[in-house]
Amino acid sequence: MRALITGASRGVGAALLVEGTARGHEVQGTTRSGAGIPLEVTDGASRAEAAQAAGALDLLVCNAGVYLDRSAGIEDVTAEQLRATFDTNVTGVILTVQAQLANLSEGGRIALISSQMGSSEQTGSRGFAYRASKAAISNFGANLAVALKDRGIAVGIYHPGWVQTDMGGRAASVTAEQSARGLWDRFEALDMGTTGQFETFDGHPHPF
Structural domains of the chain ordered from first start: 2-200 (3.40.50.720)
**pTM given for the model:** 0.95
Give the whole-angstrom CA distance, residue 99 versus residue 88.
15
44-69 per-position pLDDT tens digit: 999 999 999 999 999 999 999 999 99
pLDDT digits 0-9 by tens, 8-21: 999 999 999 999 99
Residue-wise pLDDT tens digits, 94-141: 999 999 999 999 999 999 999 999 998 889 999 999 999 999 999 999
User: Among residues 80, 111, 84, 83, which one has the least CA distance to residue 16?
Assistant: 111
